[in-house]
Structure 1
Amino acid sequence: MLRYILLAISLSSFAAANFYQVTIPKEPFGYVYKSGSSDAPVVLSVWQCLQCSDAAAAWPVLKEVGDHYGPAQVQVVFYGFPLPYLRGAFLSARATKAVDQLDPSLTVDYMDLVYANQDKIGRSPDTVSDADMLEVLVGLAEDIGILREDFLDEYNKAITNVYSRNEWKVGITDSVHHSPTIFVNNVVELSFNPSWTLQDWTAVIDPLLA
């Protein structure tokens, strides 16, 4: 009897220890901008919701930062962090992963289009259903040359769903709670706001490269 009690306690402890464990992916989460080098001395980790207006405002400048410094100096990595209170946020994150699986070279182009069409997804009327929002996302994929059937096949895979959920969970474990949240070399940049220009970013990054 004692043996069974000890076994039960052991199994209970094992379950408790692993209850919050996010499934470790075969490849790191995130989308690296223009093949930014993993050896770059500065890494910008951008957690963003594609239906967040602040993230949309910051998006062009963050790409400009990557272009200004180049992939050898600054690696910019975008992570999906769909906010639960914005309509279509999770659908957009899942759609982005589907596109990335089909053609990683089109991922940023797709996010460009999703940001530009927030009014049809995140800010659409309440009468617009999830199915309607998905149709918009399908259309945007077609606009960059992805076949509807291929997109939907990838979107509907369980692994795409699980990836998008776990990416969000990783953000939570890293204390991300708003969009966009930006880490510079793993340290959150608390002074950042969506109105920052390239000059604001160079004031942060240039001293790190000096």
Structure 2
Amino acid sequence: MNPLLFCLLLLFQCFFLCKSQLPIPAKIDGFVYRMPSVWGESVVVEAFLDPVCPDSRDSWPPLKQALDYYSGRLSLVVHPFPLPYHSNAFLACRSLHIANKLNSSSVYPLLELFFKTQEKYYNAPTYGMSRASVVADMTKLALTAIGESIGTAFQLGFNDSSTDQAARISFKYGCSRGVAGAPAFFVNGMPLSGSPLDYNKWRSTIDPLLANNKS
């Protein structure tokens, strides 16, 4: 290709990307863990998690332990972040959005079920499965958390364009924050290095912040 033409195409692409607007959701992305009593005064943790990522799974117990310890002084929002090299991650994240639409209290039980059974959704075990088969299996898993009565509604959720859009926005939101892997954590809006984190790391991070809040 002519070098001048290549440069012009590159400049055009950069201009287009800079000008294009990412879709803005009707409400901020993510699932609030319980409902914090003092959202404006608590330390806020944002976690970007992939339901079929082993590191995301391993980071969840110490974070949950910290949430139990700090109670209302610590708030959590989980953003589903499907890693593209996990073949079924997008479907799992979409499942969370479907669960949130049908019964918001079922989101975290379903996330924990994914963590417990995620090995069955790894690339190798599902290599010969069709997308429909994976969806059917995830639906069965979801019914454990949501209830058998809405099984049909849950499966139909995969045909609902709004849940597809919501899952895409979750991924794009993570990218807009500079997230490139999972798990990734932000504390009061600032990226936190070192993951997966253990409970002691959470304590050493959050204790000084709460002490400063009191002062």
Output the TM-score relative to the length of structure 2: 0.84
Spell out the pairing of 1:1-210 with structure 2 (5 A cutoff).
16=16, 20-36=20-36, 37-70=38-71, 72-123=72-123, 124-144=125-145, 145-146=147-148, 147-190=150-193, 192-194=194-196, 196-210=197-211
Distance 2:106 2:154 in 1: 12
Distance 1:64 1:159, change over 3 A: same
Give the 3-state SS of the residue equivalent to 1:175 in structure 2: coil
**Residue 155 of structure 1: CA displacement?**
2.9
**Pairs aligned (count):** 194
Letter in 2 for 1:108: Y
Please tell me whether the aligned partners of residues 40 and 75 of structure 1 are also in contact (alpha carbons under 8 angstroms): no
Distance 1:19 1:121, change over 3 A: farther
TM-superposition CA deviations, 1:11-61 (whole Å, max 9, x none): x9xx94885322211111100111134314311000111111100111122
**Residue 152 of structure 1: CA displacement?**
1.7
Aligned to 1:8: none
Letter in 1 for 2:195: N
Distance 1:20 1:67, change over 3 A: farther
Give the 3-state SS of the residue equivalent to 2:185 in structure 1: strand
Distance 2:134 2:93 in 1: 12
* Identical residues among aligned pairs (%): 28
Letter in 2 for 1:59: W
Q: Which moved more, 1:19-28 or 1:176-185?
A: 19-28
Distance 1:60 1:133 in 2: 26
Please tell me whether the aligned partners of residues 51 and 87 of structure 1 are also in contact (alpha carbons under 8 angstroms): no
Distance 1:149 1:99 in 2: 12
Aligned to 1:4: none
Distance 2:21 2:90 in 1: 21
List runs of 5+ in structure 2 lacking aligned partners: 1-11
Distance 1:74 1:131, change over 3 A: same
Please tell me whether the aligned partners of residues 121 and 136 of structure 1 are also in contact (alpha carbons under 8 angstroms): no
Output the TM-score relative to the length of structure 1: 0.86
List runs of 5+ in structure 1 lacking aligned partners: 1-11
Please tell me whether the aligned partners of residues 33 and 78 of structure 2 are also in contact (alpha carbons under 8 angstroms): yes
Please tell me whether the aligned partners of residues 46 and 187 of structure 2 are also in contact (alpha carbons under 8 angstroms): yes
**Residue 62 of structure 1: CA displacement?**
1.4
**Residue 153 of structure 1: CA displacement?**
2.5
Please tell me whether the aligned partners of residues 51 and 118 of structure 1 are also in contact (alpha carbons under 8 angstroms): yes
Distance 1:206 1:134 in 2: 42
